[in-house]
């Protein structure tokens, strides 16, 4: 069976094009442009890359964006004051506080301070509760992106058995809820699941979001399944890379390790997955690209919800 590689880039480009058209339409009809504010604390290199990507994409689709960068010794009280101020600003439609935050700051308290209507990451308990109950809400971007990949790739969800490996509040749990809302039968697995391969092999749709490089192997995948790899992990060991990547891909991966010190791999062993899956999302080039696109879509949705449109 030939595996179909599901391109995150093509779908992300479609979504960004749709968002750009909607932003232009809002400006033409109602005279406003949605605004996204990203708040970053400290000098975490990954956070810098993520926020830069979000701000850059916002500019590409026509959003107004602001980047507030605070020093790593910023107090929780100061960050809370900034979040509350952004809540009150009428021109701000979306607020995201980039995680992780420095250890002196309680992440949960800060996320709960964000106005749920401006919570474009979809992490606020109010939005989590609305998602659980099937109400209109702002949904975490990565799980929402997975649904877009499935739908735009013409992969049926209704009536299928979906297995989600991972139970985080950011991906695993909302992913399960979104699949359930699309009429899938959903199983959630995690580190304490007994005989994990026996459960995951039953999946028509297998979503891996466990945070362990190459953890899902061929024995976990049923013949002809759709495998969605949400993980993003760094692999620096060349022997480990050889065990993960197909022969035609390995030289490129080894060159990347030599240049950067690491290469990216998801939670699925791609060498083994392509032997059994019918559809597969690569890393990089898969789900990760959808996350930023869905953030743009959420910002426009937040702007419309705030204005009753």
How many percent of the chain have pLDDT more than 90? 94
Q: Over the stretch 215-226, which tens digit does the pLDDT of each residue have? A: 999 999 999 999
Please, what is the average pLDDT of the chain?
Answer: 95
The answer to the question of residue 295 being in a domain is no
Residues 182 and 253 both lie in one domain: yes
Q: Looking at residue 194, what is its pLDDT?
A: 96
Tens digits of residue pLDDT in 159-209: 999 999 999 999 999 999 999 999 999 999 998 999 999 999 999 999 999
Task: Work out how many domains the chain is built from and give that number.
Answer: 2
Pair 96, 161 in one domain: no
CATH number at residue 108: 3.40.50.10860
- 54 carries an active-site annotation: yes
pTM of the model: 0.95
Domain-terminating residue out of 62, 81, 115: 115
CATH code, 228: 3.40.50.720
Mean pLDDT computed over 244-261:
91
Structure token pair of residue 107: 């992440």
**In this predicted structure, what is the pLDDT of residue 1?**
64
Q: Provide the residue range defining the domain that includes 85.
A: 31-115
Active-site annotation holds for 121: yes
Catalytic one of 98, 118, 119, 160: 98
Q: Give 95-105 pLDDT, tens digit per residue.
A: 999 999 999 99
Is 119 an active-site residue?
no
Q: Annotated catalytic residue: which of 93, 119, 121, 229?
A: 121
> Among the options 54, 173, 297, 301, which is catalytic?
54
Instruction: Give the whole-angstrom CA distance, residue 131 versus residue 181.
Output: 9
Say whether both 69 and 150 belong to one domain.
Answer: no
């Amino acid at each position: 069976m030939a595996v179909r590689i599901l391109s995150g880039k093509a779908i992300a480009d479609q979504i960004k094009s749709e968002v750009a058209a909607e932003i232009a339409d809002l400006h033409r009809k109602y005279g406003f442009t949605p605004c996204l504010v990203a708040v970053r604390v400290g000098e975490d290199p990954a956070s810098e890359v993520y926020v830069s990507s979000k701000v850059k994409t916002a500019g590409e689709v026509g959003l107004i964006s602001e980047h507030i960068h605070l020093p790593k010794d910023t107090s929780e009280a100061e960050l809370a004051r900034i979040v509350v101020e952004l809540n009150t600003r009428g021109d701000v439609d979306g607020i995201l506080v980039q995680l992780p935050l420095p250890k002196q700051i309680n992440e949960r308290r800060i996320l709960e301070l964000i106005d749920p209507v401006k919570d474009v990451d979809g992490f606020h308990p109010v939005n989590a509760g609305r998602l659980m109950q099937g109400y209109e809400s702002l949904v975490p971007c990565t799980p929402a992106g997975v649904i877009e990949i499935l739908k735009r790739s013409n992969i049926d969800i209704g009536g299928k058995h979906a297995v989600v490996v991972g139970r985080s509040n950011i991906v695993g749990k909302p992913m399960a809820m979104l699949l359930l809302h699309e009429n899938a039968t959903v199983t959630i697995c995690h580190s304490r699941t007994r005989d994990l391969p026996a459960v995951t092999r039953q999946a028509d749709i297998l979503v891996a979001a466990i945070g362990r490089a190459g953890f899902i192997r061929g024995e976990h995948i049923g013949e002809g399944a759709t495998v969605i790899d949400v993980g993003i992990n760094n692999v620096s060991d060349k022997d480990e890379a050889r065990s993960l990547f197909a022969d035609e891909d390995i030289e490129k991966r080894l060159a990347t390790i030599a240049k950067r010190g690491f290469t990216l791999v998801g939670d699925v062993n791609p060498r083994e997955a392509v032997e059994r899956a019918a559809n597969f999302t690569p890393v990089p080039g898969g789900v990760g690209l959808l996350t930023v696109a869905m953030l743009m879509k959420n910002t426009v949705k937040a702007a419309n919800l705030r204005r009753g449109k």
